[in-house]
Chain A
Amino acid sequence: MTIASIRPYGGTPKDTEDKFHGNRILYVGWDRHLMFYAPICFCIPPSMAFADFVAGPLAQAFGDHPQWAQIDWTKANWLRSNQPFSPDGAKSLHDNGLGHKEVLRLQTPDLQGIGGCAI
């Protein structure tokens, strides 16, 4: 459908990749850890290695949670756009196919939040 307008109206997207100074937006949520009320919005260079992203910005964001240190990364799953995703830690975010405004969900089946209450 198109917008009801008095003249043709295209709409100019406000958040295209070129506006982020070489970085990309990446959203990450940690399933069943709702101490973090919403998925987090990161702004990251696409050349950063996936493992560095996890050890750096992601750990900084989630590290305050007591279960962060307990994650067994061999059992953790990722979803990208709600579909299973297997990142290669050594490769960059770009080479892992993570485009601008991609959304990742971290799932830790053994850890379901504090007391198993999704906290």
Chain B
Amino acid sequence: MDMNAKKKLGLKEKYALMTRNLGWETTYEPMDKVFPQMDYEGIRIHDWDKWEDPFRLTMDAYWKYQAEKEKKLYAIIDAYAQNNGHLNVTDARYINALKIFLSAVPSLEYNAHRGFARLGREMRGVGPQVACQMQAIDEIRHAQTQIHSLSNYNKFYNGFHDWKHMNDRVWYLSVPKSFFEDACTCGPFEFIIAIGFSFEYVLTNLVFMPFISGAAYNGDLGAMTFGFSAQSDEARHMTLGLEVIKFMLEQDPANLPIIQRWIDKWTWRGVRLLTIVAMLMDYMLPKRVMSWKEAWEVYFEENGMALFNDLARYGIKVPDCAALIKKEKDHISHQAWNAFYTAGMITNFHTWLPSEDEMNWLSSKYPDSFDKYYRPRFEYYRQREKEGKRFYNKTLPMLCQVCQIPMLFTEGDDPTLISYRQIEHKGDKYHFCSDHCQHIFEHEPEKYVEAWLPAHQIYQGNCFAEGADPTAPGFDPLKSVLDYWHLDFGRDNLDFEGSEDQKNFAAWRQQATTN
């Protein structure tokens, strides 16, 4: 018997055969027709073979690594669930950070999956095609593992029950949702700059820090584990983001102004989106990792600047918005918590006032702003609570047409005045939270006039419970909107103090730790 055993392929050969050689020049159809989305954004690519793979990973190796990670992750998730790990978190307030995470982030991951799957088809070069396909699979894995890890909390706590439904409807969740829909409706090159570079590369640490280190600091082994399982993928995504921008800049000098505009836009869009993360770091983690301001200084002002210095040789400049962000870093987390605390009637999580200790921590981290502007606000709210008049704002907020965040940001030089910007376009008025959101609108008004702004949609009558009749006597619009969101009044919303979550956590922890 002739056992002509074949030699195993070396890594280099394997990579060549299983990545680069998967592509070919088409002959039945012209290449431009096979890849029809490569031209319309104005980006010029002359030679796709110049693409340097930042990681020479082949699909078979990819499956093997990911399968090993999954095995470990699910073993830990199981153990965590069986040991009632949720009772080991620092404090039941922490669980509200997870509610925000679940109702916002898996949908972002899923949309990232959709975006990269499209790029895996549309990118003309085989190197980026394969990299985008892998990232598409990573992203759907992240969505899935996040949902699985957090489903354990849904057995015990309120507000986790219908996150996908809420993601499409609840007022503040239009912020992350519209962010990613903006990216997914861009051309393929803008998408990859938006998500691969601006978000994954420039801003990703600012997302990871509060959620994953936050989970570790607060005893949440479940969330920490999916975070670490995702982190090794993120390292690959960051590398792809950087490679793609260098490749595009090296291909043609005409690409520079287009890419610069995208970086300006998506850095700003990303930072606006991170407002909620800033709030989470400063207010919602019982055991703090670092302040938002410190995180911003380390990850953007130091690391981010080093990156922009590196890109300066291609002509890339630091986005203009960096100057305003520098001024806002002392304020946004406090302004956001002020908003959610007072809007606590229409949130799918609980809110509360920071304790005296926590306020002292905030004073020490924000010596230039907290005592002057924000401590008096919280002290006033505390006084109202003592009088039995906990303040709930029952109105609908004015929203920015682009970022869709309520107009809660103040002027860069005066934190006591809301920043109003307005323009007229084809006879209609449009309002913005900042010059930067206004500029984004002005560049592509056709896109942003279509924004689905929750406050307006409610007034148009598009957000009432199924079968509700707004003309019926005694119709309660707020109740009907909450029903439409699937938000259970008195259980999912209102103050943490006195909530079912608070009582249950205390009772269960006592059961677990005493006789």
Contacts and interface: CB of A to CB of B under 8 A. Distances in A.
B29 interface: no
B420 A19 contact: no
A6 B37 contact: yes
B502 to A, nearest CB: 24
Interface in B120-145: none
B398 interface: yes
Q: Is the interface of B mostly helix, strand, loop or mixed?
A: mixed
Contacts of A102: 429
Given A14-B451, A32-B416, A114-B376, A4 B41 contact: yes
B373 A118 contact: yes
B455 A41 contact: yes
Contacts, number: 146
A39 interface: yes
Interface string B383-423: 00000000101111111000000111000000111101010
Given A29-B418, A61-B395, A103-B420, A12 B36 contact: no
B397 A31 contact: no
Nearest to A12: B450
A114 B460 CA distance: 35
A60 B397 CA distance: 15
B397 A39 contact: yes
Contacts of B186: 4
B284 to A, nearest CB: 17
Contacts of B459: 20, 23, 25, 41, 43
Given A29-B418, A32-B416, A41 B444 contact: no
B445 A4 contact: no
Contacts of B431: 27, 101, 103
13 contacts: A6-B40, A9-B446, A20-B459, A23-B459, A36-B395, A37-B393, A37-B408, A38-B398, A40-B397, A41-B455, A61-B394, A82-B420, A100-B429
Interface of B: 36-37, 40-42, 186-187, 190, 335, 338-339, 342-343, 372-373, 376-377, 380, 391, 393-399, 406-408, 415-418, 420, 422, 426, 428-431, 442-447, 449-453, 455-456, 459-461
